[in-house]
Amino acid sequence: MSRFDLTDGDVVVVIGSGAGGGTMAHELTRRGLKVVLFEAGRRQTLASFSQNPSEAYGQLTWLEPRTQSGSWDPVKNSPNQPAWHCKTVGGTTVHWTGATPRLQRYEMQARTAYGDVPGTSLADWPIEYEELKRWYQVAEKRLCVTRRNGNPGMPASNNFKVMYNGARRIGYKRVHTNYLAINSRAQDGRGLCIQQGFCLQGCKTAAKWSTLYTEIPRAEATGNLDLRTECFVTRIEHDAAGRANGVVYRDAAGLEQRQKARFICVAGNAVETARLLLLSESARFPRGLANSSDQVGRNYCHHLTAFVWGIFDQPVHATRGVVLGGVVEDENVHDPRRGFVGGYHLELASMDLPTLPLVGLGYGWGREFASIMDNFRNMAGILINGEDMPRPDNRITLSKSLKDAYGLPVAHVNCDEHPNDVALRRHAQRQAQKLYESVGAKRTVLSASPPATHQMGTARMSADPQHGVTNPHGRTHDVSNLFISDGSVQTTAGAANPTLTIVSLVLRQADHISREITAGRL
């Protein structure tokens, strides 16, 4: 493994090793750039992935508490944990479900398509759909997505058989085993999916794409990567001209260090990315780095998510097999006759027994609660994944009440539901209930909104520097050598699980960086 000097100002610093940062590190190192990749967590291996759900949760998850306010369910149900994402090499690509839908054309023109929705900060993306589509195609090849490029679809699980038959009976047409970055046949050095059902705990056959065992080792093989694990970046510094020139971080021993940098890519997951920019305030950037627009941390989106469970007279055994191995795409359209703007996916979902009562159900106890658990064998599941409305005050700020181990304020998340979010969820819940009732469900069960697993919008792309944090290449308007390389740059959320979009935008951003270097502008 390479080690670069702390004072080496030629290195590129990448912060975070997940879908965005891990991919960026590979893209830059293979082009011959020296990269120092910072990861706050530890490195696991296929062998070290725990197969006990709660142990795996402890092994992979960002556990440090945050503070919260607003009307959204996690404020009361999990007050210290608004978001569920990872802190480990590979980031959230270690525990993601592998679902890789594309954004739709209308979703990238949300302001134009939806009109003026009061109380939102909807905006059109500053890039064309056709432009993103080109990079989707590159990313889908990279990730070996099923049902694309000749890759076979995933075979149907029990849970999907229930979804498919119900969906067809209530008239849905676009129903299949989902686009998945999970190998339906062994390729690209990754194994075959053997339907373990442990997507969220780390995939022991590496069938599911993760930067942990694809992009990062390939970056290491170039000799240009210096991966620093258990190193947490606390501040981005700049020179007198306002160009980023290094980072301050705590190393694995907790000691403060400084790394010089030529340019910097931030990919800490939208909550921590916003926090880092806000922590990096200076006399020149008194509201936080790259925040002259006051948009850093605002417009935080997390998708409207909720589970619907169908309980049947006969066994389903939903936890056997790929967790998100199915989707209904018919509602991923803009049709205001439904009473809301934007659309949603109905995705297949299953949940292990210990996690189900903590995340998958609403608040409850006693006989009614217990009777749900009693039907564990006979439950089929759907996860609603819908577009949520960006709002200026749904935002990440620095907590006034809680500090981390280094004495720095943790992220505070404020999240109020928009009436459109409520209407979309109600529609999606009714559709999922109808779907299950059409195939004989004796009961359906609704969940609360679980902690956010998709984080977006906190440094969004905008053509006008006053309306967003980054330009159409994810480069901050204020600091020309500072890039945001994660879901923070999404102008709106759409209804697509974000990883494919993150990877596509990062591949595009790396291409831009490469051209800018060649042109002598970076």
The residues in 65-84 that bind another protein, with binding defined as CB under 8 A, are 65, 74, 77-81, 84
Taking each helix axis from N to C end, the angle separating 158-169 and 419-437, rounded to the nearest 10 degrees, works out to: 100
Assess contact for 344 and 495: CB atoms under 8 A: yes
Nearer to another protein, 268 or 325 (CB): 325
Exactly one of 11, 216, 356, 479 binds another protein (CB under 8 A); that residue is 356
- Least distance (Å) between residue 324 CB and another protein: 14
Least separation in angstroms between CB 368 and another protein: 10
User: Taking each helix axis from N to C terminus, what angle separates 129-143 and 499-518, rounded to the nearest 10 degrees?
Assistant: 110
Cβ 449 to another protein shortest distance, Å: 11
Query: Is the Cα dihedral 490, 346, 184, 194 positive or negative?
Result: positive
d(CA 24, CA 20): 6
- Find tokens 């939806």 and name the residue: 114
Structure tokens belonging to residue 6:
């702390």
Closest CB to another protein among residues 119, 155: 155
Q: What residues between 434 and 453 interact with another protein by CB under 8 A?
A: 439, 450-451
Which of residues 198 and 232 has its CB atom nearest to another protein in the complex? 198
204 vs 471: CA distance, rounded Å: 39
Structure token pair of residue 153? 């679809």
Confirm or reject binding of residue 357 to another protein (CB under 8 A): yes
Whether 103 and 496 have beta carbons less than 8 Å apart is answered as: yes
**Segment near another protein (CB under 8 A); pick from 209-217, 277-285, 292-300, 358-366:** 358-366
Q: Decide if 98 contacts 322 (C-beta within 8 A).
A: yes
**HSE-CB for 361 with a 13 A CA cutoff:** 21
Could you tell me the smallest distance in angstroms from the CB atom of residue 209 to another protein?
A: 17
Q: Residue from 3, 9, 63, 392 that binds another protein (CB under 8 A)?
A: 63
| CB 150, min distance to another protein, A | 12
Is there binding between residue 42 and another protein (CB under 8 A)? no
Among 7, 45, 48, 51, the residue binding another protein under the rule CB under 8 A is 51
Stretch near another protein under the rule CB under 8 A, chosen from 47-55, 398-406, 409-417, 427-435: 47-55
What whole-number distance in Å separates Cα of residue 397 and Cα of residue 27?
31
- What CA dihedral angle connects 240, 33, 219 and 142, to 10 degrees? 100
Q: Both tokens of residue 510?
A: 């790396």
Binding segment (CB under 8 A) for another protein, from list 32-40, 250-258, 287-295, 356-364: 356-364
Whole-number minimum distance, CB 113 to another protein, in Å?
A: 29
Find the shortest distance in angstroms from Cβ 320 to another protein.
Answer: 4
Q: Write out the binding residues for another protein, residues 137-176 only, by CB under 8 A.
A: 146-147, 152-158, 160-162, 164-165, 175-176
CB of 226 to another protein, least distance (A): 30
Sheet hosting strand 344-348, strand order edge to edge: 175-176, 327-328, 344-348, 379-386, 304-311, 443-446
User: Which range, of 194-202, 297-305, 397-405, 480-488, touches another protein by CB under 8 A?
Assistant: 194-202
Q: How far is the CB of 316 from another protein (least distance, A)?
A: 7
Among the candidate windows 25-33, 350-358, 381-389, 476-484, which touches another protein by CB under 8 A? 350-358
Binding mask 288-327 vs another protein (x if CB under 8 A, - otherwise)? Answer: --------------------------xxxx-xxx------
Q: By CB under 8 A, which span of 96-104, 193-201, 302-310, 402-410 interacts with another protein?
A: 193-201
According to CB under 8 A, which residues from 369 to 408 bind another protein? 369-370, 373-374, 376-377
E strand or H helix at 382: strand 379-386
Find out whether 146 and 178 touch, Cβ atoms under 8 Å.
yes
What number of chain residues touch another protein (CB under 8 A)? 72
Q: Is residue 198 involved in binding another protein (CB under 8 A)?
A: yes
Taking the least distance from each CB to another protein, the nearer of 165 and 234 is: 165
Helix segments in 358-468, DSSP class H: 367-374, 419-437
Q: What is the enclosing helix (H) or strand (E) of 228?
A: strand 225-228
* Cβ neighbours of residue 50 closer than 8 Å, sequence gap 6 or more: 56, 59, 201, 202
3-state SS class at 193: coil
By CB under 8 A, which span of 36-44, 52-60, 117-125, 266-274 interacts with another protein? 52-60
Q: Tokens 């949760």, residue?
A: 57
Q: Which stretch binds another protein (CB under 8 A): 108-116, 212-220, 361-369, 498-506?
A: 361-369
Per-residue CA distances from 213 to 100, 132, 209, 219, 468 (Å) = 18, 26, 8, 10, 34
Q: Does 252 bind another protein (CB under 8 A)?
A: no
Measured torsion, CA atoms of residues 422, 399, 263, 25, in degrees rounded to the nearest 10: -60
Q: Among residues 2, 137, 205, 514, which is the contact residue for another protein, using CB under 8 A?
A: 205
Q: Which CB atom, from 107 or from 417, has the smaller least distance to another protein?
A: 417
Rounded to whole angstroms, the Cα distance separating 478 from 291 reads 7
Asked if 226 touches another protein (CB under 8 A), the answer is no
Contact between 310 and 346 under an 8 Å Cβ cutoff? The reply is no
Shortest gap between Cβ of 434 and another protein (angstroms)? 16
Q: Name which position in 115, 149, 194, 282 contacts another protein (CB under 8 A).
A: 194
